[in-house]
Amino acid sequence: MGFFSNIFKRKERLLEPADLSMLKTDFHSHLIPGIDDGAQTLEEAILLIEGLKELGYQKIITTPHCMSDFYKNTPEIIISGLTKVKEELQRRGIDISIEASAEYYLDDDFERKIDEGEIITFGDNYILFELPFLAEPPNFNQVVFKLQSMGYRPILAHPERYGFYYNQFETYQDFVDRGIYLQVNMMSLMGHYSPETQKIAEKLIERGLITFIGSDLHNERQLPILKHALQMPSLHKLLDSGKLKNAEL
């Protein structure tokens, strides 16, 4: 059901598919085979990469989950997986630039990873992190402060997906004022996660609070959803806002 039913409910006017080549880089995806809940095989990873290329991206910075309990991924695990993906792309003659970073879950172990330098940044010292979906972790401010005082530039993944911030636009504004970059998921614009998520994503765009957009691509089923998102007025608005920094990565 999902996204199509939401579109019909809201009678959204669809536009010509947007050209994503101006964005150049997608930096939120799960494409290293078998190390998180994204691509499980090399074959699947290649298919997803080809899908992103078809959307217009020229560069991918893939970001496997790093958590203390479920996905205990280290820089070594990630880089060795990336090497396999790169070799396969080369073998098949698929021309796309690909790097890896991570999507860090803000748990206690994240602080240890920061302290011990066990993290992979991307671009100009950016680091992508996500929160639990139930509540803001008690060490949120401490971690952000630590990251920033060490020269890292934190990007909060999909702020529109955390129910505990809903309609607290002063909180989102405060994040931006404090130098926390906000990254919206392209599929949120389609109502893929929930109608509420879509509404919050649209409001964040309207208020000019979004600096990055990411695919958060996990599997093949999501490719047509991303393709459909290219026609959403909210995506066009975001691309026209001049605020997106994806191309700098």
| Positions in the binding site for Fe ion (CB under 5 A) | 103, 216
Please identify, using beta-carbon distances, which residue of 103 and 107 lies nearer to Fe ion: 103
Minimum distance from residue 170 beta carbon to Fe ion (Å): 26
Sheet containing 59-62: give its strands across: 25-26, 59-62, 97-100
- What residue number has its CB nearest to Fe ion? 216
Measured CA to CA, the distance from residue 192 to residue 213 in angstroms comes to 15
User: What letter would DSSP give residue 18?
Assistant: P
Least separation in angstroms between residue 22's CB and Fe ion is 23
Shorter beta-carbon distance to Fe ion: residue 59 or 231: 59
Q: Which is nearer to Fe ion, 160 or 216 (CB)?
A: 216
Nearer to Fe ion, 225 or 231 (CB): 225
Widest distance between CA atoms in the chain: 51
- Give whole-number Cα distances, 121 to 34, 77, 100, 156, 194, in Å: 21, 15, 9, 14, 30
Least distance in angstroms from the C-beta of 216 to Fe ion:
4
In the bound complex, what is the minimum distance in angstroms from residue 95's beta carbon to Fe ion?
25
Q: How far apart are CA 217 and CA 184, in angstroms?
A: 13
CB of 133 to Fe ion, least distance (A): 12
CA–CA gap between residue 65 and residue 44 (Å, rounded) = 17
Q: Tell me how crowded residue 153 is: count the other CB atoms within 10 A of its CB.
A: 15
Q: Which is nearer to Fe ion, 26 or 103 (CB)?
A: 103
